Amino acid sequence: MRSCFACPWLKRHFSLVLGLKRFLLSGLEKLRHRSFAPGRRSGSTVAVVGSPEESWASSRRTRASMQGNRSRDTRPELALRRAVHRLGLRYRVASRPLPEVRRTADLVFTRVRVAVFLDGCFWHGCAAHHTVSKSNSVYWGEKVARNRARDQDTDRRLLDAGWVVLRIWEHEDPQAAAQRVKAVVLERRRRLDESVNRVESALGTASRPSAGGQRGGQAKQPAQDPPGQLCTTAEPNRQAITPEPKPHGA
């Protein structure tokens, strides 16, 4: 059997082939380590658990708990969505009420402009159930304060755009919360239908000839959309914020 070195080309470029082999093997090893390292999901940029120099978490347990938190489809969200769905309402899940603003609502009723947010008691500072973290309390206090400020800014943006904002705590009963959502949505539908009927009536009056043989006078001004409202829970520590209604024809 002839030796592999009998091939003149392979003998001449043996060092090049060997270097290429080592390069490919090292690349595969790095890729395998990156994809299956503990505490890291494939394709993410999260550091490996147990590397304190790469994480701001105070302990491995804290970091593992943070990595296990979901941004959507939590148990309270699923319970609320099922309860609302049983009442015959249909909605969008984890959608942006205002596409140009990076704020996501848990349930969105686009036609009647109702946005429902399910707030976590810890993350949004519930007065009844929020607990102060024993470790790294300064960081978590500032984090919750930023979340509350962001919530207020989100409410203001949606109110200015004519939306109704409904905020529900995760500790509330999902059945009772679903009834509140249904009441708000049906009320908005009623107002929207009345506005459409007034516009159609005004257009029909303008198209019919008057008693003098001439067309009717100027058409009535279409009714304005109802102003945005912020509907909160019935707890005494959360008050409803409703902007002052603008007079028609102003």
Instruction: Provide the 3-class DSSP secondary structure of residue 118.
Output: strand
pTM above 0.75, yes or no: no
Are 27 and 20 in contact by the 8 Å Cβ rule? The answer is no
Tokens 């494939």 sit at which residue? 42
Are 93 and 81 in contact by the 8 Å Cβ rule? The answer is yes
For 14-23, 56-65, 114-123, 176-185, which range has the lowest pLDDT when averaged over its residues? 56-65
pLDDT exceeds 90 at position 182? yes
pLDDT exceeds 50 at position 216? no
Torsion angle defined by CA atoms of residues 228, 112, 110 and 125, in that order, rounded to the nearest 10 degrees: 50
Are 113 and 162 in contact by the 8 Å Cβ rule? The answer is yes
- The larger pLDDT score, comparing residue 247 to residue 124, is at 124
Mean pLDDT of all residues in the chain? Answer: 76
Q: How far, in Å, are 58, 142, 188, 189 from residue 136 at the CA level?
A: 7, 10, 44, 47
- The span from the CA of 130 to the CA of 143, in Å, is 13
The reported pLDDT for the residue numbered 227 is 56
- The larger pLDDT score, comparing residue 245 to residue 106, is at 106
Mean pLDDT of all residues in 148-152: 95
Give the pairing of strands 105-109 and 114-119: antiparallel
Considering 7-11, 29-33, 203-207, 240-244, the range whose residues carry the highest mean pLDDT is 203-207
Partner residues linked to 241 by β-bridges: 230
- The span from the CA of 130 to the CA of 189, in Å, is 35
Task: Read off the pLDDT band of 51 (50, 70, 90).
Answer: very low
For 78-92, 130-144, 146-160, which range has the lowest pLDDT when averaged over its residues? 130-144
Whole-number percent of the chain with pLDDT over 90: 40
Considering only CA atoms, which of 163, 165, 226 is closest in space to residue 196? Answer: 226
The reported pLDDT for the residue numbered 40 is 45
Tokens (6 digits) for 207: 């198209």
Q: What is the C-alpha end-to-end distance of the chain, expressed in Å?
A: 100
Mean pLDDT of all residues in 108-119: 96
- The span from the CA of 53 to the CA of 75, in Å, is 33
Q: How far, in Å, are 82, 89, 186, 190, 197 from residue 183 at the CA level?
A: 16, 11, 5, 11, 21
Q: What structural domains and CATH numbers belong to the chain?
A: 75-231 (3.40.960.10)
Mean pLDDT of all residues in 206-232: 55
Are 96 and 87 in contact by the 8 Å Cβ rule? The answer is no
Considering 49-63, 85-99, 201-215, 225-239, the range whose residues carry the highest mean pLDDT is 85-99
Mean pLDDT of all residues in 20-41: 63
The reported pLDDT for the residue numbered 168 is 96
Whole-number percent of the chain with pLDDT over 70: 60
The torsion angles phi and psi of 231, rounded to 5 degrees, stand at: -100, 120
Mean pLDDT of all residues in 35-59: 48
The reported pLDDT for the residue numbered 128 is 86
- The larger pLDDT score, comparing residue 25 to residue 44, is at 25
